[in-house]
Amino acid sequence: MKHNFDEIINRTGTNSIKYDFAIERGKPEDTLPLWVADMDFQTAPSVTEALMKAVQHGIFGYSESKSGYFNTLYEWFKDHFDWRVEPEWLVKTPGVVYAIATVVRALTQEGDAVLIQRPVYYPFSEAIIANNRKLVNNALIYENGAYHIDFEDFEDKILKHKVKLFILCSPHNPVGRVWTREELNRIGTLCIKHHVIVISDEIHADFTYQGHKHTIFGSISDDFLNNSIICTAPSKTFNLAGLQVSNIFIADKGIRSKIRDEIRRSGYSQLNIMGLIACQAAYAGGGLWLEELKRYLEDNLGFVRAFITKHLPKVKLVEPQGTYLIWLDFGALNLTEDELDDLIVKKAKLWLDHGTMFGNEGRGFQRVNIACPRSILEKAFHQLAVAVNDE
């Protein structure tokens, strides 16, 4: 490997929310953080080089992207997902969560029902509730250690609540599913049948494990494309979350214009200059780095799988198909939520994402971010094993 993902880079004292805010967020100072979804790796060298050049230039005035920016996006989605995007579809926003909240406001009225599939990335719920929309849940089914969609309930909920909008998480955070083309087809067909617009959050699209292929929702058919908002970003893939850049593709002119109006109403215009530069440099020059990173993550997952089998037989790994987040089932320990929290935080001294953050369906689970040097992961799982086996 050209890139050394084993290197431990000290992140304390960098204003990192993962490393510098334990006390503020109610955790003991000495917990090892494997929670929020950013990585403990430096980004691709092409990004750092481009940013250094911009820093040295020293002028950070208002900026916009030129055609080169779109062209790198075009090439990326064509090469990686066989999806050909068009320039007018692109709406840039300072993050996917901002985009989702904006779309909720633009396409629904107060009191309208918005559907999600819990356990799911918690800002989906916040975007619905904070905007006074009605949250409707089509809970995923957990069976034999794996998750799937309850399609019957999906349609029932749409009809019962007159759902207007569905927020799809694809690949799914936290359960790690990479939805198959067939599953997406069923979802998309039901949504068209019942006039439900789909926000497809595909921020984790670049992280699939061997044997799994991500399908962009809008690439399935023109009907799906014209009924959806496809949210993408380089932020998970290249570890750029702090630069706040995301690329939202909206093919339907009417939907796009409502969303653009809502963005205007919020007073937002251009992206941060550093975000624009980083995004273009990442997609243009970060491909090899990403290939190596994915191999490293695959090995991290292999380590976790083997460790759990050997040392944590009561903890179940929900086998991820994508994302660098893993979902651990502690149900067999029969602990209350407070006892599980104590075990993780006080005994194992770990800062993970507690399952119930993702909805009640997450009871008894913990989400672990494995995008860190192997030695950190080994330390974390060693601490976990000592705590669990002492129960």
Ligand X SMILES: Cc1ncc(COP(=O)(O)O)c(C=O)c1O
Which residues of this protein are in contact with ligand X, per CB under 6 A? 37, 95-97, 121, 169, 173, 201, 203, 233, 235, 241, 246
Q: How far is the CB of 319 from ligand X (least distance, A)?
A: 19
CA dist., res. 242 & res. 19, Å (int): 14
Q: Which of 297, 318, 307, 313 is nearest to 379 (CA)?
A: 307
Which residue's CB is nearer to ligand X, number 230 or number 312? 230
Three-point CA angle 315, 318, 320, nearest 5°: 140
Q: How far is the CB of 277 from ligand X (least distance, A)?
A: 17
CB-hemisphere CA count at 13 Å for 286?
Answer: 31
Which residue's CB is nearer to ligand X, number 18 or number 157? 18
Q: How far is the CB of 203 from ligand X (least distance, A)?
A: 4
Dihedral (CA of 180, 82, 219, 298) sign: positive
CA dist., res. 279 & res. 25, Å (int): 30
Which residue's CB is nearer to ligand X, number 235 or number 280? 235
Q: How far is the CB of 100 from ligand X (least distance, A)?
A: 8
Which residue's CB is nearer to ligand X, number 108 or number 247? 247
Backbone angles phi and psi of 389, in degrees to 5: -75, -10
DSSP 347: I
Q: How far is the CB of 387 from ligand X (least distance, A)?
A: 26
Helix %, strand %, coil % for the chain, to 5? 45, 15, 40
Q: How far is the CB of 246 from ligand X (least distance, A)?
A: 5
Which residue's CB is nearer to ligand X, number 74 or number 98? 98
Q: Which of 143, 153, 137 is nearest to 186 (CA)?
A: 153
Residue 284 DSSP SS3? helix
Which residue's CB is nearer to ligand X, number 40 or number 201? 201
Q: How far is the CB of 342 from ligand X (least distance, A)?
A: 26
Q: How far is the CB of 243 from ligand X (least distance, A)?
A: 10
What tokens appear for 321 in the block?
């198909």
Which residue's CB is nearer to ligand X, number 95 or number 362? 95
Backbone angles phi and psi of 373, in degrees to 5: -55, 145
Q: Where are the alpha helices (DSSP H) in 42-119?
A: 45-57, 67-81, 96-107
Is the distance from CB of 201 to CB of 121 less than 8 angstroms? yes
Which residue's CB is nearer to ligand X, number 246 or number 321? 246
Closest chain position to ligand X (CB): 95
Instruction: Give, in order, the Cα–Cα distances in Å from 142 to each of 92, 295, 329.
Output: 35, 28, 11
CA dist., res. 286 & res. 235, Å (int): 12
Q: How far is the CB of 17 from ligand X (least distance, A)?
A: 11
Which residue's CB is nearer to ligand X, number 72 or number 247? 247
For 269, the enclosing helix (H) or strand (E) is: none
